[in-house]
Structure 1
């Protein structure tokens, strides 16, 4: 039987629960611009310049099918345009609109993101959390 109180949870479950909470809070923040955790990084990438759907999917480490849904939402919001590729009729070039650039720059405030995660922690606890998360994030999976 799993412990009901988080203090009794295994580390993996705690990390997963914390990650989901941060994602919910971040999505709540991004919703003011009709963005979410999937669409915001796409617009950040497009700030560098136009790209294809396949390139965006690879950079975001998601499938092209998933990227298609993300781009459809961004297009409905007026944040991206799709135009025919100059030399390959099978491809489209995706570009951020002025509205998309404005929205992602406003929504991507790193101080707001940091505050969501670290609210209630001391400066020392924030540094400890960063150090521990770096260890976990850098952990490599052994190859069989």
Structure 2
């Protein structure tokens, strides 16, 4: 078990603080997960940039490949606000990856569908090789399997978000 004193930085000399910050044995598990996630996310965004996508827009393509959705459904499925989803969709519509058509029963809503260009981009960008290489760099296949098991447990154990309304 980590001693809390090992986690407290030695404020004072800049070189001591820098050495402390680089010593990952002192990092909390949460900080390590956050750092690893940021590195993978940056690399993933760099990969997706070739198609004018990012980590926020890619899951929308995946969902739309399954069936058409409303903006509200997409926001809920991705875990963002409708306002954030509106910005994501506007950008994807400008790139030609989706279409919005008025809903048949409710003219205030739109049906969002994947365009042929969106289908093509999804096939190209979703190749599993690059994503696996980014997230498993430096690990053996056994370590990757263990990491996936542990991450699955962590994700399944998280509490459901509470509805602020």
Q: Which has the larger radius of gyration?
A: 2
| Equivalent-residue separation in structure 2 for 1:45 and 1:135 (angstroms) | 23
Q: CA deviation at 1:114?
A: 0.8
Q: Structure 1-normalised TM-score?
A: 0.90
Counterpart in the other structure of 1:137? 155
Are 2:117 and 1:99 aligned? yes
Q: Could you list the per-position Cα deviations for residues 10-57 of structure 1 after superposition, in whole angstroms to 9, with x for gaps in the alignment?
A: 111000111111111111111111111111111111112221111111
Q: CA deviation at 1:141?
A: 4.1
Q: Per chain length, whose mean CA-contact separation is higher, i.e. which structure has more relative contact order (CA < 8 Å, sep 6+)?
A: 1
| Equivalent-residue separation in structure 1 for 2:120 and 2:128 (angstroms) | 15
Q: CA deviation at 1:132?
A: 2.4
Gaps of 5+ in 2: 1-7, 10-19, 161-165
Q: Structure 2-normalised TM-score?
A: 0.80
Are 2:62 and 1:44 aligned? yes
CA RMSD of aligned residues (A): 1.6
Counterpart in the other structure of 1:14? 32
Q: Could you list the per-position Cα deviations for residues 96-132 of structure 1 after superposition, in whole angstroms to 9, with x for gaps in the alignment?
A: 1100111012101122211111122112221222232
Residue 120 of structure 1: which of 127, 138, 148 is its match?
138
